[in-house]
Amino acid sequence: MTTAIAGDRLKQRFDKWDVNGDGVLERADFEREAERIVGAFGQSMSSAEGQAMLKALTGLFEYEANEAGVGPNGSINEEQFRSVNEKLIFTDGEATFNRVLRPVMKAVVGLCDSDHNGMIDQQEFAAYLQAIGVDRAQAQSAFQQIDTIGDGQLSVDELLAAVRNFHFGKLDVNLLG
Ligand SMILES: [Ca+2]
Ligand SMILES: [Ca+2]
């Protein structure tokens, strides 16, 4: 990995998640982000899929706030965010990363898995990228890179590996939007 890319990508992530633009991350930002993603899929927040995304993202905020030492109603500044996530991505190892991000990626799969087989096929993936605002032209090559098993379906584990690889600078598609 190159540290510069990793640093840029954490900065992008911070800015994206600071939905209300006040320079710190708080619980409300993660609630708004859940609403944004669920809305982009044309689903309601009261659906099971909407509730799963809200729970996953507020759970992620609680993890970040706890690690930053600010408490569940606190706010996380950019330096705290960088330090928590550098540790999570580069120091703690894959098992911890997967434990923290799995609920979010499962919620993503829940939102775009139109045929309910627990995996994302090419068509579902294209709809997903569109919902999170990633250039559709990237969909096919990204799909092939993420589908490491090569069965034409993306599993939650393959998607988690892709999010890690994005932060390591090994993949250019940002699956968290
Ligand atoms: Ca904020
Ligand atoms: Ca599917």
Residue 16 Cα to ligand 2 middle (Å): 27
Q: Are 94 and 77 within 8 A, CB to CB?
A: no
Q: Looking at residue 113, what is its pLDDT?
A: 95
Q: Looking at residue 2, what is its pLDDT?
A: 57
Q: Looking at residue 125, what is its pLDDT?
A: 93
State how many domains the chain has.
1
Helix (H, G, I), strand (E, B) or coil at 4: helix
Q: Looking at residue 52, what is its pLDDT?
A: 97
Range of the domain at 137: 3-167
| Residue at token pair 């982000």 | 33
Q: Looking at residue 81, what is its pLDDT?
A: 97
Q: Are 100 and 63 within 8 A, CB to CB?
A: yes
Kindly identify the ligand whose nearest atom is closest to the C-alpha of 18: 1
Residue 36 Cα to ligand 1 middle (Å): 15
With respect to residue 62, please indicate whether it lies within any of the assigned structural domains.
yes
Q: What is the DSSP string of 96-113?
A: HHHHHHHHHHHHHHHHH-
With respect to residue 176, please indicate whether it lies within any of the assigned structural domains.
no
Q: Are 132 and 37 within 8 A, CB to CB?
A: yes
Residue 32 Cα to ligand 2 middle (Å): 26
What is the C-alpha separation between 95 and 81, in angstroms, rounded? 20
With respect to residue 32, please indicate whether it lies within any of the assigned structural domains.
yes
With respect to residue 172, please indicate whether it lies within any of the assigned structural domains.
no
What single letter denotes the amino acid at residue 30?
Answer: F
With respect to residue 173, please indicate whether it lies within any of the assigned structural domains.
no
With respect to residue 88, please indicate whether it lies within any of the assigned structural domains.
yes
Q: Looking at residue 31, what is its pLDDT?
A: 97
Kindly identify the ligand whose nearest atom is closest to the C-alpha of 33: 1
> What is the token pair recorded at 155?
């599993």
Q: What is the CATH number of the domain that holds 32?
A: 1.10.238.10
With respect to residue 65, please indicate whether it lies within any of the assigned structural domains.
yes
Helix (H, G, I), strand (E, B) or coil at 76: strand
Helix 156-167, helix 3-17: angle, nearest 10:
110
User: Which pTM value belongs to this model?
Assistant: 0.91
pLDDT tens for the 177 residues of the chain, in order: 457 888 899 999 999 999 999 999 999 999 999 999 999 899 999 999 999 999 999 999 999 999 999 999 999 999 999 999 999 998 999 999 999 999 999 999 999 999 999 999 999 999 888 888 787 788 888 999 999 999 999 999 999 999 999 988 888 888 886
With respect to residue 30, please indicate whether it lies within any of the assigned structural domains.
yes
